[in-house]
Amino acid sequence: MALDLQAISRAIDGTCVPRRLGERTPVDGVSPLEAFVVVGNPEYATLVTGDEEELMRRLAAARAGGSSPDDAGDTGDDRNEDDGDPLLGAVFVSDADTPALRAALERRGMTAILGARLGGAALHATLSALIADDRAAADRLVTAGINVLTQVARRGGVTAVIAELAHRLDGWAVLLDAQGQLIGSAGAGRLHVSDAVAVALGRPVRVRHVGLQLHHVGSDSDLAGYLVVATRSRSRTHSRDLAAQSAALLDLLLRTHDPSLTEHLGREALIATLDAGGPPARDLLRRWEVHEPSLTAFALGAKTRTVDLERLLRRWLDELGAEHIFASGSGPVRGFVRNELAEELAELAEALRPMGGARVHLGLGAPAPAETLAQSAVQARQALDTALEDGETVHRYTRLPTVDLVLSSLTGTPSDALTSLLDPLRDASGAHGELGRTLRVFLSEHGGHRSSARRLGIHRQTLASRIRRIEGLTGLSMDRADDRTAAWLALRAAGL
């Protein structure tokens, strides 16, 4: 609010007598003396109206309840004493202006506005009207600000909203995602951003900005991010209201990009066409304005669901200026990027520090021609699996163990022969399903029944039954090293 003690004094033709509160202290309310209980907000002034004789009696009674005037060293001036009387933190407003009243206020160090042109009920009503008009004006400023921010959002999105908000607050603004990663900022330096992250994540560091405010973007159950602002303006209420409304607008903007069911299906069809390969895949990429002769596959995953992988990847691709060639299902997000952007994508993944210790993992395949991208996609998934198992953030297929490099050299009949070993394990839908996963976990645990059962979440007897069934269907024996090797190569060749 813009209404302060100086403005109030001018409006009622009074004289401000500052003591505990200065003339530039903003005002947020008015109360009759007999109804006053406590100052609502210590950063604002609460006006008090009433009879000056009653005020002097209350001040004298409060003084009498404190130290005795007979105490040693008492000078009779207790303006700096703090006896806990909340009335001393208010501002007395009256049409009276007598030496006795000024002396009582001086002794207690209480701020006042004296000699107003109105008194009694008329004075109280005038003050109430002034404060109500000021609040209405502040509401209009917030409404006008949101209208402008909405128009700006249509033209420039999140970045434009942050810039306009910082300008209107006469300060800075920082937008973070739910993991505390920077989305955008305006007017903020490196230390400002550091403080914003600390406040958002509750880290124990000293905040350097008194006027700093934190606003959640989204609800507690579906948090999209944090908006942290700081203002040099004295109108904290106005800035708080504007920032809160801006947080709601940013929530809408961040969620506007969430793909609908139709878009999800379209992306899945796109990836399926690219996996199938051939001229249709190349032609589809050209329609997508992708004319590169080869692309690199990636797979992005996490061990927890607290990270919104799709939203994170979309922001990364926008930052890189890359096409959104990806699809997400129940598992990791997989897609393709231009070869020169693969390492930049890896750097973004390495730099991410999500909240709560959660981590993302990225697997990168080898570059492949646009007509045969399926092989790179399988490589990316294998690299991701290795990253998840080894706890690495980024893993590249070209750095996988020798067995994977051997598989990459197998094409045509040798590779098909390997994968056909697992065909008997397919379920009615054609997927390897439960038995395929059981075989992979069992072999990755070096045949350990206890550790394999623990990873699968089943009883050891159930695991033994599944292994016997796998051996019966495939003709392989898990007791023979050659058969275990063949089964492992078949799993990797099939991308399991």
Look up the CATH number of domain 259-400: 3.30.70
Angle, vertex CA 331, rays to CA 302 and CA 403, nearest 5: 80
Top CATH class, 408-496 = mainly alpha
pLDDT in tens, 268-294: 888 889 988 888 888 888 887 888 889
Reply yes or no on whether the pLDDT at 445 is more than 90. no
pLDDT, mean of residues 106-120:
91
pLDDT in tens, 399-426: 765 555 455 555 544 456 666 777 787 7
pLDDT, mean of residues 374-385:
88
**How sure is the predictor about 242, in pLDDT bands with cuts at 50, 70 and 90?**
confident
Reply yes or no on whether the pLDDT at 204 is more than 80. no
Closest CA to 27 of 50, 6, 13, 49: 6
- pLDDT reported for residue 69: 41
Q: Please state whether 296 falls in left (phi above 0), alpha (psi between -120 and 50) or beta.
A: beta
Reply yes or no on whether the pLDDT at 91 is more than 90. yes
Q: Work out whether the CA dihedral 404, 406, 412, 413 comes out positive or negative.
A: negative
Look up the CATH number of domain 155-256: 3.30.450.40
SS (H, E, C) 121-137: HHHHHHHHHHHHHHHHH
Closest CA to 197 of 353, 358, 357, 360: 353
Fold adopted by 5-117: 3.40.1390
Reply yes or no on whether the pLDDT at 363 is more than 90. yes
- pLDDT reported for residue 218: 86
Beta bridge partners of 335: 298, 326
Q: Which range, 13-22, 77-86, 240-249, 411-420, has the best average confidence (pLDDT)?
A: 13-22
Q: Work out whether the CA dihedral 350, 354, 359, 365 comes out positive or negative.
A: negative
**Lowest-confidence segment of 154-163, 308-317, 411-420, 468-477 by average pLDDT:** 411-420
Q: Rounded to whole angstroms, how far apart are CA atoms 298 and 396?
A: 9
Sketch the domain layout of the chain as residue ranges.
5-117, 155-256, 259-400, 408-496
- pLDDT reported for residue 305: 67
Q: Give backbone dihedrals phi and psi of 220, rounded to 5 degrees, phi first.
A: -60, -35
DSSP run (H or E) holding 268: helix 261-276
pLDDT, mean of residues 188-196:
86
**How sure is the predictor about 333, in pLDDT bands with cuts at 50, 70 and 90?**
very high
Reply yes or no on whether the pLDDT at 80 is more than 50. no
pLDDT, mean of residues 105-109:
89
Both structure tokens of 430: 């054609």
Both structure tokens of 490: 């078949």
**How sure is the predictor about 76, in pLDDT bands with cuts at 50, 70 and 90?**
very low
**Lowest-confidence segment of 48-52, 103-107, 429-433, 456-460 by average pLDDT:** 429-433
Sequence letter at residue 293: P
- Cβ atoms of 16 and 5 within 8 Å: the answer is yes
Reply yes or no on whether the pLDDT at 336 is more than 90. yes
- Cβ atoms of 301 and 360 within 8 Å: the answer is yes
Percentage of the chain beyond pLDDT 90 is 21
Q: How many CB atoms lie within 10 A of CB 68?
A: 7
Output b/e per residue, 207-219; b: 16+ Cβ within 10 A.
eebebbbebbbbe
Q: How many CB atoms lie within 10 A of CB 373?
A: 28
Beta bridge partners of 488: none
Q: Give backbone dihedrals phi and psi of 17, rounded to 5 degrees, phi first.
A: -115, 90
**How sure is the predictor about 125, in pLDDT bands with cuts at 50, 70 and 90?**
very high
